[in-house]
């Protein structure tokens, strides 16, 4: 019996990101050409389970909600996951939050303030395109906060995520792992393709110059913030088709594990049928 | 030469909704079985054009944005349109707002206050599941505001929509037309299907009792708020597959009419290529 994909991709400590193969296809059986078909098939089940989740939230009978946290270096595919995986379910049941450089107003609050505002409501699947982890990643690499404050944040994150999972939340954290070479290829492809020029920003290269600092900051964050109820998954993302397949599979497994039932009617069905018949 | 679907579905005055066939398949060629395939094909083009729209907004070069306003009686398929039509494009480019009974805080403001907050940003496709029209529909039928206030709102809506289209917005208003018999069948189906019980609310029948009042309120709203830049379309919605096909077609036509181009790079491509090569 093979272990679940989640177990296979869950980060193990101590963490050495350079030991992970970005082009691995862990857990995937079949040929690359099969991945799109498998993804479409998963889409039908994801869509069904998402509707059950949504029904539970809408009916007020369940507080269950899912938060997908996407982190990764530029070009690792956070947007691709939203388009190709989150895009498989009803957009009414999605709450997508993209966390960019904090605004002055956001900076006046604790770093988790804007994050809490983006949390999904019961029945909803939230997707964080970047997240509170930026506050221990770019903030650490670029020294945007004092070392003691960065230090404080790891525990604050663990506490925050625990509150979320204790109150009916399920959290799925995916680090989209690519190598510096993968990124170089993808940035070059963006510069070569007029339909992708808008995705490129010359600031991307400033961040790229700090690659090893970022890898270190990621390793620390993944090591310190990966408790059993909210583990990090290292998703090999050198192959886009595998990355999409893997995150869809992880999400599907989370949804299956919830054993979601359709909510019961909170009205008398026969009474309503009789009323309707008369109208 | 046949006229566009938009022209065929645009409401004409004076309005008699009972004269519209809810099961019409205006403009659709082929058999019912072809509709799903046509919808999937449109999905590819919608997805491409939506990305161009998004790129323009993200790059700051365009203020263009689209607002789809969905109105219709219960079970007419507002949610179905979001799932099956809006669901064809990248959820990152969608902004869905569902307008229910106003909260006490919302009631302290002008009726358009909460509506303005839901308007899509440049590059985004907004979808209103119910809208500011509720303030001249249920508000009129249930006398939730004084007659003079209802009267004032028609012009306020026209002015508001004009501001939106004058500032780069495109508005696509769809009235999902069903008959009282269509609704009866669908409500009965909900009561018969445990996977749909959560969608049913006994308040739905209270509204159903006012069917003719609502039809009248709709006729007035469609007649008074259908200027050339923001016309109402009456979408026959007795057949779900046609309804989805028609709204997707209307949206696709709007996107095509924008002649969207990919934004130019706002950096020197050769400089960036040279920098990247050295990193």
Q: What is the 3-state secondary structure (H, E, C) of B8-76?
A: HHECCCCCCHHHCCCCCCCCCCCCHHHHHHHHHHHHHHHHHHHHHHHHHHHCCCCCCEEEEEEEECCCC
Nearest to A276 among B184, B197, B273 (CB): B184
DSSP B106: H
- The model's pLDDT over A113-122, given as tens digits with 9 standing for 90+, comes to 999 999 999 9
Backbone angles phi, psi at B155, to 5 degrees: -70, -35
C-alpha atoms less than 13 angstroms from C-alpha of B139 in its C-beta half-sphere: 24
Are the C-beta atoms of residues A23 and A238 closer than 8 Å to each other? yes
Whole-angstrom CA distances from B174 to B22, B40, B183, B211, B218 are 14, 21, 18, 19, 12
Q: How far A117 CA lies from chain B's nearest CA (Å)?
A: 16
Q: Which residues contact B50 (CB under 8 A, 6 or more apart)?
A: B89, B90, B93, B125, B255
User: To the nearest whole number, what is the mean pLDDT of chain A?
Assistant: 96
Of the candidates A229, A68, A70, A233, which has an alpha carbon nearest to the alpha carbon of residue A159? A229
Q: Which residues of B touch A272 (CB under 8 A)?
A: 191, 200, 202, 205
Query: Under an 8 A CB cutoff, do B267 and A200 touch?
Result: yes
Are the C-beta atoms of residues A71 and A137 closer than 8 Å to each other? yes
Taking CA atoms, what residue in A is nearest to B260?
A195
Helices (H), chain B: 5-9, 32-58, 78-84, 104-107, 113-117, 138-141, 147-166, 180-192, 203-208, 211-224, 240-257, 269-277
Q: How far A220 CA lies from chain B's nearest CA (Å)?
A: 24
Helices (H), A118-261: 138-141, 147-166, 180-192, 203-208, 211-224, 240-257
Taking CA atoms, what residue in B is nearest to A98?
B92
* CA–CA separation, B215 and B227 (whole Å): 20
Are the C-beta atoms of residues A176 and B37 closer than 8 Å to each other? no
Of the candidates A28, A9, A18, A4, which has an alpha carbon nearest to the alpha carbon of residue A181? A18
At A69, is the secondary structure helix, strand, or coil? Answer: strand
**Tokens matching residue B235:** 């979408």
Backbone angles phi, psi at A38, to 5 degrees: -60, -40
Identify the H or E element spanning A70: strand A65-72
A46-56 average pLDDT score: 98
Residue B177: beta bridge partners?
A: B236
- The model's pLDDT over B182-197, given as tens digits with 9 standing for 90+, comes to 999 999 999 999 999 9
| Interface-testing mutation among A85, A272, A278, with chain B (most B C-beta atoms within 10 A) | A272
The dihedral through the CA atoms of B116, B121, B122, B123 has a sign that is negative
With b for 16 or more beta-carbon neighbours within 10 A and e for fewer, the B170-202 pattern comes to bbbbbbbbbbeebbbebbeebbeeeebbbbbee
- The model's pLDDT over A252-276, given as tens digits with 9 standing for 90+, comes to 999 999 999 999 999 999 999 999 9
Q: Which residues of A touch B94 (CB under 8 A)?
A: 91
A54-77 average pLDDT score: 97
pLDDT attached to residue B2: 55
Nearest to A91 among B82, B205, B265 (CB): B82
Of the candidates A106, A4, A123, A114, which has an alpha carbon nearest to the alpha carbon of residue A67? A123
Would you call A267 an interface residue with chain B, using a CB distance cutoff of 8 Å?
yes
Taking CA atoms, what residue in B is nearest to A207?
B279
| Interface-testing mutation among A197, A203, A262, A264, with chain B (most B C-beta atoms within 10 A) | A197
Q: How far A28 CA lies from chain B's nearest CA (Å)?
A: 25
- The model's pLDDT over A179-192, given as tens digits with 9 standing for 90+, comes to 999 999 999 999 99
Nearest to B276 among A86, A188, A198 (CB): A188
What is the arrangement of strands in the sheet containing A65-72, beginning at the earlier edge strand? A94-98, A125-129, A65-72, A169-177, A232-236
Tally of CB atoms within 10 A around B161: 20
- The model's pLDDT over A197-216, given as tens digits with 9 standing for 90+, comes to 999 999 999 999 999 999 99
Nearest to A96 among B92, B198, B205 (CB): B92
Are the C-beta atoms of residues A68 and A131 closer than 8 Å to each other? no
- The pLDDT confidence band at residue A3, using thresholds 50, 70 and 90, is confident
If phi over 0 gives left and psi between -120 and 50 gives alpha, with beta otherwise, what is residue A129?
beta
Task: List A residues 55-74 in contact with B (Cβ-Cβ < 8 A).
Answer: 55, 58-59
Q: Which residues of B touch A201 (CB under 8 A)?
A: 267
Determine the distance from the C-alpha atom of residue B47 to the mean position of all C-alpha atoms in its chain, rounded to a whole number.
17
pLDDT attached to residue A2: 56
Taking the complete model, does pTM exceed 0.90, yes or no?
A: yes
Residue A1 has pLDDT above 70, yes or no: no
* CA–CA separation, B124 and A130 (whole Å): 20
What crossing angle do the helices spanning A180-192 and B269-277 adopt, rounded to 10°? 160
User: To the nearest whole number, what is the mean pLDDT of chain B?
Assistant: 96
pLDDT attached to residue B1: 41
At B163, is the secondary structure helix, strand, or coil? Answer: helix
pLDDT attached to residue A224: 97
* CA–CA separation, A201 and A144 (whole Å): 21
Print pLDDT tens along chain B (279 aa).
457 999 999 999 899 999 999 999 999 998 999 999 999 999 999 999 999 999 999 999 999 999 999 999 999 999 999 999 999 999 999 999 999 999 999 999 999 999 999 999 999 999 999 999 999 999 999 999 999 999 999 999 999 999 999 999 999 999 999 999 999 999 999 999 999 999 999 999 999 999 999 999 999 999 999 999 999 999 999 999 999 999 999 999 999 999 999 999 999 999 999 999 998
| % of chain A with per-residue pLDDT over 90 | 96
Q: Which residues contact A81 (CB under 8 A, 6 or more apart)?
A: A68, A70, A127, A174, A176, A243, A244, A247
Are the C-beta atoms of residues B38 and B244 closer than 8 Å to each other? no
């Amino acid at each position: 019996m093979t272990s679940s994909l989640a177990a296979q991709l869950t980060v193990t400590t101590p963490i050495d990101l350079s030991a992970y193969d970005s082009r691995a296809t862990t857990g995937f059986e079949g040929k690359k050409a099969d991945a799109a078909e498998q993804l479409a098939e998963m889409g039908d089940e994801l869509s069904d389970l998402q509707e059950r989740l949504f029904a539970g939230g809408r009916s007020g009978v369940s507080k269950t909600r899912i938060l997908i946290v996407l982190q990764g270096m530029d070009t690792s595919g956070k947007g691709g996951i939203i388009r190709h995986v989150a895009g498989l379910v009803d957009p009414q049941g999605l709450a997508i939050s993209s966390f960019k450089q904090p605004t002055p107003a956001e900076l006046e609050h604790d770093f988790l303030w804007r994050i809490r505002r983006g949390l999904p409501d019961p029945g909803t699947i939230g997707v964080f395109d970047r997240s509170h982890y930026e506050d221990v990643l770019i903030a650490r690499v670029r020294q945007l906060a004092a070392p003691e404050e960065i230090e404080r944040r790891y525990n604050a994150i663990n506490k925050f995520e625990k509150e979320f999972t204790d109150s009916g939340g399920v959290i799925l954290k995916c680090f989209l792992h690519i190598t510096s070479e993968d990124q170089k290829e993808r940035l070059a492809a963006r510069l070569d393709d007029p339909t992708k020029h808008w995705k490129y920003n010359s600031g991307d290269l400033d961040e790229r110059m700090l690659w090893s600092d970022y890898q270190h900051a990621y390793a620390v964050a993944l090591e310190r913030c990966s408790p059993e109820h909210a583990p990090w998954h290292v998703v090999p993302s050198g192959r886009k088709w595998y990355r999409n397949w893997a995150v869809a599979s992880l999400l599907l497994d989370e949804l299956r594990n919830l054993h979601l039932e359709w909510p019961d009617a909170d009205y008398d069905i026969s009474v309503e049928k009789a009323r309707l018949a008369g109208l």
